[in-house]
């Protein structure tokens, strides 16, 4: 019997400070046993439990993409006990990972469709994983137009800035980068909150576009009416939920919203599905 609680040992291979306030760092991990990397075969939208002995475990969405081999990466906000400890670890340190866990975004259902990604703040991680997957030559032809609306408080708080700029220069993806505000006179992208920028720049649905929305609750609250205005049906709006988790495999009971467990039945749900739950998240 496979022990689903037993983490694969991993080593910190690289640490990248992502934000000007240093609250966000991307950790690149390599598996101590290359066979574990094969077992850890994932799709964009899934998460994993990062396990630090003596500290505990945390569920974090995968920021690396299935098309990137040899490592896995997570962008982590310093917030609680485990993340604070992790922020103080260094390259070469050993820890563990369990996963991949949960369901990915519905890549098969979305084949042939246009995709609109709306992200805010540091919730852009699994969206980054998705975009890198989609832009890979093996996958780009399988999907229609791709639009990305991504915003943060300030330019210095945007994740993956170099990649964003590289995507901006491509003609097979429409980028709509925005910040709440900036005093940088050379800032050449949008200024404004995500929902109004989405209203102005995002494509209408016309039934053939899926919107994947990840961000802080306040952004989601004001983005959903915008999507409705743009004609998106509730079963074409895809959300990734978060709740307190421990096991990550649907057993410990705490992440339930009604009969759905965020860890195992989610974390990816359509808005139509979410509307049928008591929304305890």
43 interacts with another protein by CB under 8 A: no
**Nearest by Cα to 19 from 149, 182, 154, 178:** 154
* Residue from 109, 136, 258, 272 in contact with another protein (CB under 8 A): 258
Task: Check if the beta carbon of residue 26 is closer than 8 Å to that of residue 74.
Answer: yes
121-140 residues near another protein, rule: CB under 8 A? none
Choose, by CB under 8 A, the member of 95, 164, 219, 227 that binds another protein: 95
Strand order in the sheet with 146-152: 190-191, 174-179, 146-152, 114-120, 209-214, 237-240, 268-270
Find, among 195, 211, 133, the residue nearest to 167 by Cα.
Answer: 133
Binding residues with another protein: total (CB under 8 A): 43
274 interacts with another protein by CB under 8 A: no
CB of 73 or CB of 101, closer to another protein: 101
Q: Candidates 53-61, 114-122, 173-181, 225-233 — which segment interacts with another protein by CB under 8 A? A: 53-61
Per CB under 8 A, 3 contacts another protein: yes
Structure tokens belonging to residue 248: 């990550």
d(CA 226, CA 195): 7
- 244 touches another protein (CB under 8 A): yes
**Interface residue with another protein, options 12, 13, 36, 56 (CB under 8 A):** 56
15 near another protein (CB under 8 A): no
Assign 3-class secondary structure to 223-268. Answer: HHHHHHHCCCCHHHEEEECCCCCCCCCCCCCCCEECCEECCCCCCE
CB of 101 to another protein, least distance (A): 10
- Return the SS3 of 36: helix
CB nearer to another protein: give 39 or 254.
254
Query: How many CA atoms within 13 Å lie on the side-chain side of 145?
Result: 12
Q: Which is nearer to another protein, 87 or 264 (CB)?
A: 264
Q: Is residue 280 at the binding interface for another protein, with CB under 8 A as the rule?
A: yes
Question: Within a 13 Å sphere around the CA of 50, how many CA atoms are in the beta-carbon half?
Answer: 27
Smallest separation, CB 49 to another protein (Å) = 9
* Cβ at position 249, least distance to another protein in Å: 4
Residue with tokens 């399988």: 142
From 16, 17, 94, 218, residue interacting with another protein (rule: CB under 8 A): 94
Q: Alpha helix locations (H) across 22-67?
A: 34-39
Residues that bind another protein (CB under 8 A): 1-7, 9, 51-57, 79-80, 83, 93-96, 242-244, 246-247, 249-254, 256-259, 264, 276-278, 280-281
């Amino acid at each position: 019997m496979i022990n689903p609680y037993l983490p694969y040992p991993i080593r910190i291979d690289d640490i990248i400070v992502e934000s000007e306030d240093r609250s966000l760092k991307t950790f690149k991990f390599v598996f101590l046993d290359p066979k574990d990397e094969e077992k850890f075969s994932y799709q964009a939208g899934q998460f994993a439990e990062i396990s630090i002995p003596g500290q505990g475990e945390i569920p974090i969405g995968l920021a690396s993409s299935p098309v990137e081999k040899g490592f896995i990466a997570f962008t982590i906000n310093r917030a609680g006990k485990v993340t604070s400890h992790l922020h103080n670890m260094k390259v070469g340190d050993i820890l563990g990972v369990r996963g991949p866990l949960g369901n990915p975004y519905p890549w098969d259902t979305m084949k042939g469709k246009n995709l609109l990604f709306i992200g805010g703040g540091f919730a852009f991680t699994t969206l980054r994983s998705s975009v890198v997957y989609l832009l890979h030559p093996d996958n780009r032809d399988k999907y229609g137009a791709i639009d990305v609306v991504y915003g943060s408080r300030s330019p210095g708080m945007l994740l993956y800035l170099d990649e964003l700029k590289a995507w901006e220069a491509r003609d097979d993806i429409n980028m709509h980068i925005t910040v709440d505000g900036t005093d940088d006179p050379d800032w050449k992208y949008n200024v404004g909150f995500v929902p109004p920028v989405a209203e102005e720049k995002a494509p209408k649905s016309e039934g053939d576009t899926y919107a994947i929305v990840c961000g802080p609750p306040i952004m989601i609250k004001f983005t959903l009416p915008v999507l409705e205005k743009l004609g998106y049906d509730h079963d074409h709006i895809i959300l990734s939920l978060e709740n307190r988790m421990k096991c990550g495999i649907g057993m410990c009971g705490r992440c339930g919203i009604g009969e759905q467990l965020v860890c195992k039945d989610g974390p990816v749900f359509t808005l139509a599905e979410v509307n049928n739950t008591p929304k305890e998240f």
